[in-house]
Structure 1
């Protein structure tokens, strides 16, 4: 099966490329025409390093009629590439968040539905076997009703690797846009698509988003409170609070309060901790679950069989609405309401 990767702008692009290179069941083709030719981490330089086929334009890639396309561009450019890929009849995996605006997200969903192709949003954490176990334990009735959830998704600032993450025109915002959506997606799964009625957000930009400038205008730490119709309350710590010297890039966890228990989920628990003497840094060996590989496998299976991929574009829209409501709350200082997707 022929698979294309459009743009290497996102920090996850290289990881996806490496995982795809290891598969013998696909032919990989790529394009990253917006890259700076002098950047060794993008464009033809990265493609040559990995030994993958590279074209100078997106149109040249799509002319080869790939069955599946993975889009890892800047968020504001998702719509253009999704519409191009849908028009070419490709099934699509789009990096999160789905878009920077609700109008763009809806247009992407409509384009894929009209072309009768799948649109999947890149939320790998929902493929974690421990999260599946958590979901089962919360739905089989053994723990009683879910009362509250506290989610944490922290990392170092991604703008340290890709400066566009600190550009609101391209990223749609800062830490809130980047990290709220992952936890919101897990809540979406646990609550079967139920959306919050009210979203309240506080944030600051005391942490530098890049090495050489302050984070003025971009929030680098945030705390979101979600209220649901059933009375459940959820909070999301969505901060870029890990220093560059931290032994891992980031982490994600949930604490679920139920009538009968406290259930916890850690997406990236340490398998082994220690100290790296040559580099004078802490060492953290993570657990063996490769969530990106699990997500890619699900997407490629759906593309090959023609099945609907999940999480789909509607899931991406619902989580985007939560993040956008958080920004509205920041602007007004009051809880924002959400109109169901």
Structure 2
């Protein structure tokens, strides 16, 4: 199997994939990615992308169109048995009708809307079955780091069915980048925490699921891909762009039909 990886730090993923049997890796440190994706798709290869740190929607859509159904995006929290159990429980009516999604994430990266919010949105998108967003509202600040990039953000998304998601993203030197999300229904709620449990509030507890390893296993496997595909990545990207616009104007931003 030939696997192409497009990432700003491709060695991180490529090292893990190269440990798998019968896998040939093509890694590219780029996000001028249309041509590599097109070539990989024509060669019959699957492509794993990270979310671009900065790109225009047209650039991302060109990558999605080039990769087709062979394109996948890296969102580790969508993988593993814990989230699969949560998804099955919600789909089976275990919490009644889902009404609200609440989530939070801390990251060591600046620009937390672009660096952290996508991984919360991916979890909501997976549970909502790709339902398009209708309206986005966001507030940000740069006080914590004194730089132009936002160090904290609150993001609220209203979906077309009336469901609402509200997310808290912030920068922290001890941030794990792993989201925690609570899904609230009209009968019950369920929480999913993708981060490792901490001992003494600082040291991660040993054991638990290695989500990066499970992501790669799902990617090279022949089963269902539980993470975002190209269309899901476009939905998330459009929400993030609307969030930046909302934070700049101080007003909610309506998305066009189709999200």
Aligned equivalents of 2:155, 2:138: Cα separation in 1: 4
TM-score by length of 2: 0.87
* Residue in structure 2 matched with residue 239 of structure 1 by the alignment: 170
Instruction: Note the 1:187-336 alignment, pairs <5 A.
Output: 187-208=124-145, 214-216=146-148, 218-240=149-171, 242-243=172-173, 246=174, 249-270=176-197, 273-274=199-200, 282-302=202-222, 311-336=228-253
Q: Which runs of 5+ in 1 are unaligned?
A: 33-72, 158-165, 167-173, 209-213, 276-281
Q: Are the counterparts in 1 of residues 113 and 150 from structure 2 also a CA contact under 8 Å?
A: yes
TM-score by length of 1: 0.68
**Higher relative contact order (Cα pairs below 8 Å, separated by 6+ residues):** 2
Q: Which runs of 5+ in 2 are unaligned?
A: none
Report the aligned-residue RMSD.
2.7
1:186-245 CA distance string (max 9 Å, x none):
11111111022100000011232xxxxx422x11211101112222211111222x22xx
* Residue in structure 2 matched with residue 101 of structure 1 by the alignment: 56
Q: Are the counterparts in 2 of residues 119 and 309 from structure 1 also a CA contact under 8 Å?
A: no
1:62-111 CA distance string (max 9 Å, x none):
xxxxxxxxxxx4xx534454345345553211112497222112211222
Aligned equivalents of 1:147, 1:4: Cα separation in 2: 38
Q: Are the counterparts in 2 of residues 97 and 316 from structure 1 also a CA contact under 8 Å?
A: no
Deviation at 1:181, TM superposition (A): 1.0
1:272-322 CA distance string (max 9 Å, x none):
6149xxxxxx422254211112221222125xx9x9895311111111111
| Alignment: residue pair count | 258
**Residue 119 of structure 2, aligned match among 170, 182, 192:** 182
> Are the structure 2 counterparts of residues 238 and 79 from structure 1 closer, same or farther at C-alpha, using a change threshold of 3 Å?
farther
